[in-house]
Amino acid sequence: MSAPLVHVRDLEVRFVTRDATVHAVNGVSFDLAERESLCILGESGSGKSVTLRALMGLNPPRRTKLSGTVRVGGHDILAASERRLADIRGGTVSMIFQEPMTALDPVFTIGRQIAETVMRHEGLSRASADARALELLELVQIPSAKRRLAAYPHELSGGLRQRAMIAIALSCRPKLLLADEPTTALDATVQIQILLLLRRLQQEMGMGVIFVTHDLGVAGEIADRVAVMYAGKFIEEGPVRSLMRAPLHPYAQGLLGATVHSGMRGERLTTIPGAPPNLERVPKGCAFAPRCALVEEACLPAVPTFRSPFPGHAARCVRVRDAA
């Protein structure tokens, strides 16, 4: 069996500030196969973005304490130098963000930005880089692509900017694409178009994808597997159908709530009463216990281990039983 595209073990990410340490990611482990897509779901502040950024070595270096193992396409991300990371980003893994303006440079044309990226990473000549830029704009279905090469980011609509950012992210044919709520800033029809585009590109280019969304319909349409994150931990992971149809963890059940049915497009995650724990202290037992209607003694002394009643589907909850 070949090595997985992504291999994460016991990932911990802490932010050390003068007054406190924020335990943002607390022991995340997972693998992603080539061409596989994983969706991470969870409330605001659960550590989704920090996890994605750790896969690219993107958290602010001085204040961030990282531990565990992160391998992407065979590269040891936590041990890599900044210079090495710069090669890995774009070449092996790239990321698209919720707000394209954070990734696009306002002072250069779209064509120039794509061309620069491929020249830097692939050593193409200016002429071949320009040709590649056009190809990429056509790939992401930007109408009148040739004319759009000369456009500045502010001259494009939100949807086109998002497509341009995807074009840049894909420009060096990454093996892994990270997408952090890539469509929430867009209106519903444009969202669907972008997502269908992403799914098609994933299949055509054979990329692995890890994405974060608050939209269950989106998760259902793109993901092979879903991980549910709470207080910096994966608390449930499973195949998309099984997890959406029958979530195991009370938190996942609450989050997916009444919205788990077909035709979920546009359905947002349900809000659960109460607030997530303060990440300045990691709770000893199940972090969801204080909000859980089903809490019992056994939840408190230690974080429950993963239990797996069905192949590939597991949750950290004492109420879940392993398959016999």
Ligand X SMILES: Nc1ncnc2c1ncn2[C@@H]1O[C@H](COP(=O)(O)OP(=O)(O)OP(=O)(O)O)[C@@H](O)[C@H]1O
Shortest distance (Å) from residue 48 CB to ligand X: 4
Residue 15 binding result from Mg ion, ligand X, none, given CB thresholds of 5 to 8 Å by partner type = ligand X
Q: Should residue 45 be labelled a site residue for ligand X when binding is judged by CB under 6 A?
A: yes
Sheet holding 208-212, edge to edge: 93-96, 176-180, 208-212, 37-41, 225-230, 233-239, 313-315, 307-310
Yes or no: say if 288 and 241 are a contact pair by the CB < 8 Å rule: no
Shortest distance (Å) from residue 61 CB to ligand X: 11
**Per-residue contact string for residues 73-112; x = within reach of ligand X by CB under 6 A:** ----------------------------------------
Nearer to ligand X, 52 or 137 (CB): 52
The Cα–Cα gap between 290 and 178 comes to 32
Nearer to ligand X, 78 or 298 (CB): 78
Residue 44 binding result from ligand X, Mg ion, none, given CB thresholds of 5 to 8 Å by partner type = ligand X
The Cα–Cα gap between 98 and 166 comes to 11
The residues that bridge with 14 in the sheet, in sequence order, are 23, 65
> Where on the chain is the footprint of Mg ion (CB under 5 A)?
49
Yes or no: say if 248 and 309 are a contact pair by the CB < 8 Å rule: yes
Nearer to Mg ion, 171 or 191 (CB): 191
Residue 111 binding result from Mg ion, ligand X, none, given CB thresholds of 5 to 8 Å by partner type = none
Residue 153 binding result from Mg ion, ligand X, none, given CB thresholds of 5 to 8 Å by partner type = none
Report the Cα 89 to chain-centroid distance in Å.
Answer: 15
Shortest distance (Å) from residue 321 CB to ligand X: 29
* Total residues interacting with ligand X, rule: CB under 6 A: 13
148-181: string of b/e by CB count within 10 Å (b at 16+)?
Answer: bbebebeebeebbbbbbbbbbbbbbebbbbbbbb
Among 46, 113, 117, 162, binds ligand X (CB under 6 A): 46
Residues whose CB falls within 8 Å of the CB of residue 212, separated by 6 or more in sequence, listed in order: 39, 40, 41, 48, 49, 52, 179, 180, 181
Nearer to Mg ion, 49 or 162 (CB): 49
Nearer to Mg ion, 118 or 235 (CB): 235
Q: Should residue 22 be labelled a site residue for ligand X when binding is judged by CB under 6 A?
A: yes
**Which range binds ligand X by CB under 6 A, 40-48, 145-153, 250-258, 308-316?**
40-48
How many C-alpha atoms does 179 have within 13 Å on its Cβ side? 34
Cα-Cα-Cα-Cα dihedral sign, residues 170, 222, 57, 105 = positive
Shortest distance (Å) from residue 30 CB to ligand X: 16
What the block records as the tokens of 235 is 């608390």
Q: Which of residues 267-306 bind ligand X (CB under 6 A)?
A: 279
Given its phi and psi angles, is residue 231 left (phi above 0), alpha (psi -120 to 50 degrees) or beta? left
Nearer to ligand X, 20 or 294 (CB): 20
Interface residues with ligand X (CB under 6 A) are 15, 22, 24, 42, 44-50, 60, 279
